[in-house]
Structure 1
Amino acid sequence: MSALRTTSLLRAARVARRPFAEACRPVQLQTRRAMSIEGQQKLLSADLEEADPTVYNIIQKEKRRQKHFINLIPSENFTSQAVLDALGSVMQNKYSEGYPGARYYGGNEHIDEAERLCQQRALQAFRLDPEKWGVNVQPLSGSPANLYAYSALLNTHDRIMGLDLPHGGHLSHGYQTPTRKISAISKYFETLPYRLDEKTGLIDYTKLHELAMLYRPKIIIAGTSAYSRLIDYKKFREVADSVGSYLLSDMAHISGL
């Protein structure tokens, strides 16, 4: 058989197979699509132990740690199953930048409903009149909450006084050393610490008043993270009023004691 005839026969065979291949292509695409959809559904419906056993095992170890060790950190607590259910709900799927009624994305009507309910309950918990008071329930922890308060009341480089970190204060109250600004707060605002009376281990309210008279802070923070005594809020109020300062109560670490 000549080379020319062989080439012609092969070309004819390819042409003959083409309709069959083209007919099979939609079936192949549908099969791939079905497998892809099945894989996606499996991924979305798998629980954590099945989807990521490594992370699941880490969480189980943390559960055992919390169950079998005594926790002396007052700002930590056990989260109820109801709260865990809410935190792990479909609410996590929604992007909700902004505030109720003023979001940057649509579809936030139920997010708004939940946030307004949370605001209402927070005001009720502290017996506050919603006509006089507002509440921001968006901060995820104490440090961002403090920054929200500072930003609302202060301009850059305004002055803050808080308990010194080595004396039981909190990092977000503007801690810095003589050579370095440790807290980001101290980079945006001017901060001066007050301290404990080292003989008694109590806040030195007399010295606090003297420092406030000299420093004239815009905010005085009554709050601690490692101070085992009661805070005399009346004395703090008197000091703040004497120098025209706002008094900020940071009770995140101590409110449950």
Structure 2
Amino acid sequence: MFKSALKISRTATVSRSLLTAQSKRAYALTPQSQALISKSVKEIDPEMYQILQSEKQRQKNSITLIPSENFTSKAVMDLLGSEMQNKYSEGYPGERYYGGNQFIDQAESLCQKRALEAFNLNPEEWGVNVQSLSGAPANLYTYSAILNVGDRIMGLDLPHGGHLSHDRFD
């Protein structure tokens, strides 16, 4: 009885998977879904596009003294909005948890190479992590690289230019 129930369960799972895949494929072929994939924000959502344009103008016409909010280059914007953002890539080059990361690995390895070159570091002696996406991990990496347990550094209050990660680490 257990074997037949298992067989029915496997068949039902496979059937559901096939139906799900077929319905996803059918959805992907509809004109509406093609429009969502191929059209720009301006075409799909003019209201959101207008908000984006307003933010662009605000950034172009003001000076923000927060480093992470500086106006970035077109090249950086192109990369941040590229197909590379569609890929989940946990881990390090050559040691990813998920497959299909060969181009992510190439890009990250290139960034590592350039970082080492920028500081004239020998790759046989040094390694670099170029994955940090926010201030907190960046500060943590920096602190752990240069401080010993119990060391003190100066950190500013948030209203005075500090960062959330400028706190006491015990």
Pairing partner for 2:73 from 74, 80, 89: 80
Give the direction of change, closer, same or farther, for the CA distance of 1:153–1:80 in structure 2 (3 Å limit).
Answer: closer
Give the direction of change, closer, same or farther, for the CA distance of 1:35–1:140 in structure 2 (3 Å limit).
Answer: closer
> Does the 8 Å CA contact 1:163/1:170 hold for their aligned counterparts?
no
Aligned positions, number? 143
> Does the 8 Å CA contact 1:162/1:173 hold for their aligned counterparts?
no
The structure with the greater share of residues assigned to helix is 2
The residue number in structure 2 matching 1:159 is: 150
> Normalising by the residue count of structure 1, what TM-score does the alignment of the two structures yield?
0.49
Give the direction of change, closer, same or farther, for the CA distance of 1:145–1:164 in structure 2 (3 Å limit).
Answer: closer
- CA deviation vs aligned residue, 1:107-163 (integer Å, no higher than 9, x gap): 1111100000000001111111111111000011222112234567889xx424121
In structure 2, distance between residues paired with 1:110 and 1:62: 32
Q: Secondary structure at the match of 1:162?
A: coil
Deviation at residue 78 of structure 1 after TM alignment: 2.3
1:52 aligns to 2:68 (yes or no):
no
- Percent identity of the aligned residues? 63
The residue number in structure 1 matching 2:8 is: none
The residue number in structure 2 matching 1:100 is: 93
> Normalising by the residue count of structure 2, what TM-score does the alignment of the two structures yield?
0.71
The residue number in structure 2 matching 1:117 is: 110
In structure 2, distance between residues paired with 1:154 and 1:71: 30
In structure 2, distance between residues paired with 1:53 and 1:129: 50
In structure 1, distance between residues paired with 2:151 and 2:46: 47
> Does the 8 Å CA contact 2:28/2:34 hold for their aligned counterparts?
no
In structure 1, distance between residues paired with 2:80 and 2:69: 17
Give the direction of change, closer, same or farther, for the CA distance of 1:36–1:164 in structure 2 (3 Å limit).
Answer: closer
> Does the 8 Å CA contact 2:60/2:71 hold for their aligned counterparts?
no
Higher relative contact order (CA 8 A, sep 6+): 1
Segments of 5+ residues of structure 1 without an aligned counterpart are 1-32, 175-185, 191-257
The residue number in structure 1 matching 2:141 is: 148
Letter in 1 for 2:33: Q
Letter in 1 for 2:58: R
In structure 2, distance between residues paired with 1:150 and 1:64: 36
Deviation at residue 86 of structure 1 after TM alignment: 1.1
Alpha-carbon RMSD across the aligned residues, in angstroms, is 2.7
Give the direction of change, closer, same or farther, for the CA distance of 1:46–1:153 in structure 2 (3 Å limit).
Answer: same
In structure 2, distance between residues paired with 1:162 and 1:169: 12
In structure 2, distance between residues paired with 1:91 and 1:146: 25
Letter in 2 for 1:161: R
In structure 1, distance between residues paired with 2:66 and 2:59: 12
Segments of 5+ residues of structure 2 without an aligned counterpart are 1-25
> Does the 8 Å CA contact 1:96/1:111 hold for their aligned counterparts?
yes
Give the direction of change, closer, same or farther, for the CA distance of 1:74–1:36 in structure 2 (3 Å limit).
Answer: closer
Deviation at residue 74 of structure 1 after TM alignment: 4.8
